[in-house]
Structure 1
């Protein structure tokens, strides 16, 4: 992305009509900081009550944005790229120098030569390379890879009689599988998992961790040019879309970060759901309950990405009763949309068989790796339940805590006990 030198974050001098001008006497709500980290759902509910299905918010650095809270409004934005573009080069606050190039937001919102940063024909060309090769990867014994690495992870704590299934299982297992699919050395898995988590979390270290990821993936691309193999990286290199060097590395980055962070978060949440409900746990162990129904419920109630970055208005328009200006940033409240009382007046009603949630995004940019994520989670849960007899939660369910960043809410720990 290019633009003039930054002149500071949005504030009282922000142009009339941008989100920062609509926040009321106290200004827009921050989606970062201690309050946002501890009670994101409470913030979404309050914003919905005060502003309706779309609300003005501030992101890190007090950068203004519209948070889309309503289910129907989210669908409208996701399904209409001509009105709501993914191309951040039209982002007015960036173009006018109010967003620093070193802002952690750039790791999530900045333009890159990848399929999620573009629309139309450029998007279709690049996405074809990703979807075609994810389809190939999903048919290459992915459940066998998950079983291998799941058993390896469990071996490290199986004799202890207890473990933290976040830190010792969910946080790293998806990345270990991805290293195999990408053609990366297994030893890179832990470093890459930590760096991916930091990029999503944001903060001062996001840029440094992104550079680490890019260095590792750049070396992978060079190696695969010389030593092609049956892996995702080689598939991108050889695809008829003819990705150039920058496009290749950026798509490796995109898939690695997105697939690992969302799948590890979702795996932890599914395990939480299973272990805090003994009837679900016994049903899974006995084979009377299918894990896919639990995954579906979690997708509705605690999607792995709570807020999706980002879309940019291509013209002045109205959304959810607010005037959105050309170049405004919109971030999509997937968790808030899934809990919208307009479509779910009773959250306790079963959502079994209803796959119309927002967890995979939607429209032209809908997540293309859904089947791989599902396979990882289903296999990981199955292996765990069969390896650890007497598995149970080691604390009361109300003692479990989560910490949120702008984009996601992650379970802090999941302590369990079992027969050693």
Structure 2
């Protein structure tokens, strides 16, 4: 594959160059400049050219199928007998074309996790995760969210300006999730950095994945000695008798999945509030609740735009395309949500409709979606309660995003507001932790020594104030 840069004289790139987005056979790439510049335009081009299922290229020009239709996405997600989650079925893997150092390796090489299994084994592993997640006190989760939201806001409240993408949306979910899994909260920032790098499939994705795994292995050793009321401890004691590798993989899954999806959901919702006057008016006028607002964003801008993967268990037909045994199939969540067959008018609100694909579907539907929604809803409400006059500090078209094959990240969202005093006494560490630093001691409750657990007094909700409640 050619890696020649785009000529500086403006001439067309050479055939086969990733800048074209096409290979010699005319297949479009899901990576590179075209895909990252406007993923949704690429989806619609593929839909026009191929219908509800399109042939595409993954990094390294590995061939795959992207599912664009809403019905076809559900078909794939709900029929593991035809489309397995076991990546060992992938022909590219069996033939040695996907090696351990490939950027997609961290998310596709088989691991002892429920996301790579089907049938009885999937039920055993997923059951351990869902039953452990159900033990989490939902009110306690919201208290954590409120506490960390206030602490993050305190870091910029007196300045009268902030970057909501980096100062809030990216920090909050991991700070909450590290508490729920029993990890010291000061490790949140470094895990955020590593998780984002891994999911974007960069050249250092493998190293970032290993950092996460090393941190979780240390955590598991500590929880075995001193269990607490947290997800890691509950997985250790679950009747399914999970192995150490299984526990580490599932804690990693919960951490990484919750971080990426929730951070993107928070950022996208705040962007809609700050840039879309109709969206903000619907909220301020009481025509749309915050849960409804989240669902609108989950339709329009799902946190994950596509998910790899499923692998065909045999030769089959999907959306008019002939899929071969061992072919890779990507769920096109954003494309499916924009399918003209289910949304002929994308400008029309979809209040109260939760048939979006944001959390996928079938036996592998996201098990922690309620926690993600709670983090987003409570975090956004807390922010707008504290800073009710918050406004974008730049024009709306200057709020940049960075796209990857599976998601769109809000790079920056500068805002301004009336400076306000800090309201909490607790502090939170948000500086990166070097990889060489060992995990600090953890208390029986799963907190790093020296941290506080009290939540600040609740403020009157921004939404209730707006609605006169």
TM band (smaller chain): over 0.9
* 2:258 equivalent to 1:259: yes
Q: 1:298 maps to what in 2?
A: 297
Question: Where does residue 200 of structure 1 map in the other structure?
Answer: 199
Equivalences for 1:85-164 in 2 at 5 Å? 85-139=84-138, 141-164=140-163
Aligned to 1:322: 321
Please state how far the C-alpha of 1:399 moved relative to its aligned partner: 2.1
Kindly tell me: are residues 179 and 25 of structure 1, through their superposed partners in 2, closer, same or farther at Cα, counting changes over 3 Å?
closer
User: 2:384 — aligned with what?
Assistant: 385
Q: Name the residue aligned to 1:369.
A: 368
Distance 1:48 1:120 in 2: 32
Q: Is the 8 A contact 1:138 1:372 kept in 2?
A: no
Distance (whole Å) between structure 1 residues aligned to residue 266 and residue 199 of structure 2: 17
Report the equivalent of 2:410.
411
Q: Does residue 343 of structure 2 align to residue 344 of structure 1?
A: yes
Name the CA shift for 1:319/1:24 in 2 (closer, same or farther; >3 Å): farther
Task: Tell me how far apart the structure 1 counterparts of residues 128 and 224 of structure 2 sit (CA, whole Å).
Answer: 17
Contact 2:337 2:357 in 1 (8 A): yes
Equivalent residue number for residue 236 of structure 1: 235
1:397 deviates by 1.6
Helix, strand or coil: the match of 2:409? strand
Instruction: Give the 3-state SS of the residue equivalent to 1:344 in structure 2.
Output: coil
Q: 1:346 deviation in Å?
A: 0.7
What is the correspondence of 1:175-214 to structure 2 with a 5 Å cutoff?
A: 175-214=174-213
The superposition leaves residues 37-62 of structure 1 with CA deviations (integer Å, 9 ceiling, x where unpaired) of 11100110101111111111111111
In 1, Cα distance between the equivalents of 2:282 and 2:47? 37
Displacement of 1:187 in angstroms is 1.1
Measured in 2, the distance between the counterparts of 1:80 and 1:165 equals 39
Contact residue 29 and residue 58 of structure 1 kept, 8 A: yes
Q: Indicate if the aligned counterparts of 2:28 and 2:56 stay in contact, CA closer than 8 A.
A: yes
1:287 offset after TM fit, Å? Answer: 6.6
8 Å contact 2:288–2:351 — kept in the other structure? no
CA distance in 2, matches of 1:361, 1:407: 13
SS at match of 2:135: helix
TM-aligned CA deviation for residue 279 of structure 1: 5.4
The CA deviation at 1:71 is 0.8
1:15 corresponds to: none
**CA distance in structure 2 between the aligned counterparts of 1:362 and 1:405, rounded to whole angstroms:** 22
Report the counterpart of residue 3 of structure 1 in structure 2: none
Q: Corresponding residue for 1:57?
A: 56
Higher Cα Rg, which structure: 2
Following superposition, the deviation at residue 401 of structure 1 comes to 2.4
Which residue number in structure 1 is paired with residue 46 of structure 2? 47
Partner of residue 4, structure 1: none
Do the aligned partners of 2:149 and 2:379 also contact (CA within 8 Å) in 1? yes
**Deviation, structure 1 residue 157:** 0.4
Contact 1:285 1:386 (C-alpha < 8 Å) held by counterparts: no
Q: What are structure 2's unaligned runs of at least 5 residues?
A: 3-21, 420-469
2:286 and 2:148 mapped to 1: Cα distance? Answer: 23
Cα separation, 2, equivalents of 1:344 and 1:288? 21
Give per-residue Cα distances to partners, 1:150-197, cap 9 Å, x unaligned: 000000000111111001000111000011111111110100011111
1:283 is displaced (CA, Å) by: 5.9
Q: Compare 67-76 and 287-296 and name the one that shifted more.
A: 287-296
CA contact (8 A) 1:138 1:371 kept: no
Give the deviation of 1:204 after TM superposition. Answer: 0.6
Determine the C-alpha separation between the residues in 1 that align with 2:276 and 2:88. Answer: 47
Cα RMSD (Å) of the superposition?
Answer: 1.7
Preserved contact between residue 308 and residue 333 of structure 1 (Cα < 8 Å): yes
* Cα shift at 1:25: 6.0
The structural deviation recorded for 1:335 is 0.1
Cα distance in 1, alignment partners of residues 44 and 282 from structure 2? 34
Q: Which residue of 2 aligns with 1:331?
A: 330
SS in 1 for 2:240: coil
The structure where helix makes up a greater share of residues is 1
Alignment partners' CA distance in 1, 2:130 and 2:315? 33
Distance 2:236 2:199 in 1: 26
TM-score normalized by the length of structure 2 = 0.83
Could you tell me which runs of 5 or more consecutive residues in structure 1 were left unpaired when the two chains were aligned. 1-7, 10-22
Q: Following superposition of structure 1 onto structure 2, how do residues 243-282 of structure 1 map, counting pairs within 5 Å?
A: 243-278=242-277, 280-281=279-280
What is the deviation of 1:358? 0.4
Could you tell me how far apart the structure 2 residues matched to 1:90 and 1:398 are? 43
SS of the residue aligned with 1:218? helix
Q: How many residues align structurally?
A: 400
Cα offset for 1:280? Answer: 4.3
